[in-house]
A = this chain, B = another copy of it.
C-alpha cells in the first residue's frame, strides 16, 4: 500500500486538518477514500453508529489498549502493527480467539497524510496476519501541539471455545513457567531509535501476534493455568502481578532467561535491566509440571517460539514474592518497577 495506491487525494490534503475529524464532508472523504479502502467496503446497509455482529459463541473476552508509542516507526514495527498485536495478545492471554477490533484514532492536526496511510496499511497487514477484522472506528483530530502525531486505541473481542479458566489465581505450586523467546528487544528497539543509537546490527522489536501460538497449546490439550504477555514493565512486572494476584511465590532462574547478547550490551550501555524492558511478542505460560515438556515442544515448533524455554516454577511459599536465582547462585527478590524506566514504548 504505497501512497500512489491510495484513492484519498493526498496531494490535495497532504496534512490532516481539524476538519478531518469534524463530522462533515472532509471526514466522510477520509473515511471513504482511505479507511474503508483499507479495512473493507462500507457495509451495504450503510455506515452506522455501531456494528452489529453475530458471535459464534457467547463466552467472550473483551479488552482495550491505547498506543502512544514514540517514535511512530521503529525497527520491526510501527504504532499500527503494535496497536493490532497488543490487543490481539491481550485477548490471546485469556485463551480467547480474537475476532474483531475497533480502531480509534486521535490525530494531531498537521500529521502527514502519507504517514497516516502508511499506518493504516500497517494496521491492515497486521490484522490480516492475526486473522482479525477491524469492524468499527472513530477519528478525532486535536489541535497542533495537543498530541504527538497520532495515538491509537484498539479494543477487541474474542471468543472462548474451551473450558479452561486462564487466570492468575489458577496457578499452583510446582507449575512450570515457560517463555516463548528472548526478552527486551521491543523496548531497546524503541529507545535506540529515539536516542539515535546505532549498534552493529539493528535490534528489531519482537512485535507479533501471539494468538496462533497460544491456540497451538490449547488445541494440544495443555491445561494452561495462566498466561501473560510481557509489555510495559517487562518480565519482572508480569511475574509480580501474577504472584500478588495468586498469593503465590515464584522462583526464576536468571541464567535461563534468554537475552540476546546485543540487547544485553545495549541495556548495559543505557542502564536498563532487561527483566524490566518491554516486549510485544513475548509471553509466559504457567503449565502443570506433567505437561511442561510437551508444552515446550509445541512452543519450540512454532515460528514465534523457537527460542522458547523454561525459566522458573511456582513455589509453595505463600508470600507473593518473585525470587531470582542469579548467575552467581545468590537469591534476590525481583521487585516490581517503581518509577518509569522507558516511557511511551507502547
> Chain A interface (Cβ within 8 Å of chain B)?
17-19, 21-28, 42-68, 89-91, 93-94, 96, 100, 102-106, 135-138, 140-143, 145-148, 151, 153, 155-158, 160, 165, 167-170, 228-229, 231-234, 237, 241-242, 245-246, 278, 336-344
Closest chain B residue to A230, Cβ basis: B23
Closest chain B residue to A17, Cβ basis: B340
A148 and B142 contact, CB distance less than 8 A: yes
B64 and A103 contact, CB distance less than 8 A: yes
- A153-B139 Cα distance, complex, nearest whole Å: 11
Known: A106-B151, A145-B145, A167-B45. A50 touches B94 (CB 8 A): yes
B340 and A49 contact, CB distance less than 8 A: no
**Chain B residues whose CB sits within 8 angstroms of the CB of A153 once the complex forms:** 64, 66, 104, 106, 153, 155
A94 and B148 contact, CB distance less than 8 A: no
**Chain B residues whose CB sits within 8 angstroms of the CB of A158 once the complex forms:** 50
- A62-B53 Cα distance, complex, nearest whole Å: 7
**Chain B residues whose CB sits within 8 angstroms of the CB of A104 once the complex forms:** 64-66, 104, 153, 155
Nearest first, the 10 A-B pairs at minimum CB distance are A23-B232, A46-B245, A23-B233, A46-B168, A50-B63, A24-B337, A64-B102, A155-B155, A19-B340, A45-B167
A52 and B148 contact, CB distance less than 8 A: no
- A339-B27 Cα distance, complex, nearest whole Å: 9
B61 and A58 contact, CB distance less than 8 A: no
A54 and B64 contact, CB distance less than 8 A: no
- A142-B146 Cα distance, complex, nearest whole Å: 11
A52 and B63 contact, CB distance less than 8 A: no
The distance from the CB of A66 to the nearest CB of chain B, in whole angstroms, is 4
Known: A53-B60, A68-B106. A46 touches B169 (CB 8 A): yes
**Chain B residues whose CB sits within 8 angstroms of the CB of A278 once the complex forms:** 23
Known: A102-B64, A146-B148. A93 touches B17 (CB 8 A): no
The distance from the CB of A12 to the nearest CB of chain B, in whole angstroms, is 13
The distance from the CB of A278 to the nearest CB of chain B, in whole angstroms, is 8
The distance from the CB of A314 to the nearest CB of chain B, in whole angstroms, is 14
Of A21, A23, A64, A233, the most chain B CB neighbours within 10 A belong to A23
A25 and B241 contact, CB distance less than 8 A: no
A157 and B62 contact, CB distance less than 8 A: yes
A49 and B89 contact, CB distance less than 8 A: yes
The distance from the CB of A10 to the nearest CB of chain B, in whole angstroms, is 19
Known: A57-B58, A146-B147, A156-B50. A66 touches B140 (CB 8 A): yes
- A136-B101 Cα distance, complex, nearest whole Å: 15
- A246-B278 Cα distance, complex, nearest whole Å: 48
Closest chain B residue to A60, Cβ basis: B53
Closest chain B residue to A228, Cβ basis: B49
A339 and B23 contact, CB distance less than 8 A: no
The distance from the CB of A109 to the nearest CB of chain B, in whole angstroms, is 9
B136 and A22 contact, CB distance less than 8 A: no
The distance from the CB of A254 to the nearest CB of chain B, in whole angstroms, is 20
**Chain B residues whose CB sits within 8 angstroms of the CB of A169 once the complex forms:** 44-46
The distance from the CB of A171 to the nearest CB of chain B, in whole angstroms, is 10
- A228-B43 Cα distance, complex, nearest whole Å: 16
- A109-B303 Cα distance, complex, nearest whole Å: 39
**Chain B residues whose CB sits within 8 angstroms of the CB of A21 once the complex forms:** 232, 340, 343
The one of B26, B47, B94, B105 in contact with A339, judged by C-beta atoms closer than 8 angstroms, is: B26
